Amino acid sequence: MMRTWFEVLFSLLIFPGVGFLLACTFLSQWIDRRVAARLQGRVGPPWFQPVADLIKLFAKEDILPIGARPLACTVLPILSLAAVLTAAMYIPVGSYVAHSFEGDLIVVLFLLSLPSLTYFLAGWFSVSIYSVVGGNRALLQYFSYEVPFLMALSGPAIACGSWSIAQIAQRQASSIWMIWVQPLGFMLALVGLITKLKRSPFDIPKAKSEISAGPLTEFSGRKLALWMLSLNLKMVVGIFLLVNAYLGGSGGLAAWLGAASFMIKSLFILLLLSAASVLYARLRIDQLTDIGWRVLAPLALLQLLFIVLLGVG
């Protein structure tokens, strides 16, 4: 059954489109910062602080150093933001999804990898030595976590017999959540998401005590606002992806109950991200590569072998 133009616009602009994602992004930022502050013995920001920060950045002067490539530095944050928003259209929110097809998990994983590549190019094109070093770290970090992250999210797809995110969530609703069947895969996916978001302890490309803000050192104003919005949106999209892949999505419940269940599960993952950012110190880049290829990748491969050969997590 074909949808009307109004339904298409509503799904793209309101729910589960841009409007809903922005609301979730600002809310998750506030919760994240408040939880981190409480764990550190601080009060934390008021509820409107994430919106105020974005408005402040849009109002600031937009400058670039001599030698930087203005066109590339303008296009890259827009491309990163567009990739994240496009990926969100294929991820169910509660019992609703804007668009779904067999294989959309692969498309989403590809789209979520684009911001990491644009992040590297941002450092390369802005010419600052801090930016270049941060960009190189971002690329090396990408090669360290991406393979384990992809294999961790392939586990539920193989176990459920579908590469559609909506189908993976729906089949868990009639059986058992993948987090109970594949707890190792969930932990690997969670670590991969933390690394993809460049959060502590994997905030290596933007290590403030070493290389200032890394690839984004020379960005300001509207460009920096788009970068920050892209990274924060990616956190929400990544959380929604893990909820559908490992926590059963809406659980097959009715509309409002399913939405409430989905948001509670999302809050659970957000709290895990917040706690990890406070409890662990930043790793060195060589430590991350060792962990990625000597620990995470073999564990992810081992889990896939169990799923394929023995049918268990």
* pLDDT tens for each residue of 62-115: 888 888 888 988 999 999 999 999 999 999 998 888 888 999 999 999 999 999
Residue 299 belongs to what domain range?
5-310
In the predicted structure, residue 8 carries a pLDDT above the cut 80: no
In the predicted structure, residue 224 carries a pLDDT above the cut 70: yes
Report residue 127 as tokens: 């010419």
Other residues' Cβ atoms within 10 Å of the Cβ of residue 20: 16
The Cα–Cα gap between 268 and 264 comes to 6
pLDDT of residue 2: 57
Report residue 20 as tokens: 């809903």
pLDDT of residue 313: 46
In the predicted structure, residue 312 carries a pLDDT above the cut 70: no
Q: What does the pLDDT look like over 110-165, one tens digit per residue?
A: 999 999 899 989 888 887 888 888 888 888 899 888 999 999 999 999 999 899 99
What's the rounded mean pLDDT across residues 198-205? 86
pLDDT of residue 131: 86
pTM, two decimal places: 0.94
Count of structural domains, the chain: 1
Report residue 273 as tokens: 């991200």
Report residue 172 as tokens: 């868990």
For CA atoms 85, 86, 87, 88, give the dihedral sign.
Answer: positive
| % of the chain exceeding 70 in pLDDT | 97
Phi and psi at residue 231, to the nearest 5°: -65, -40
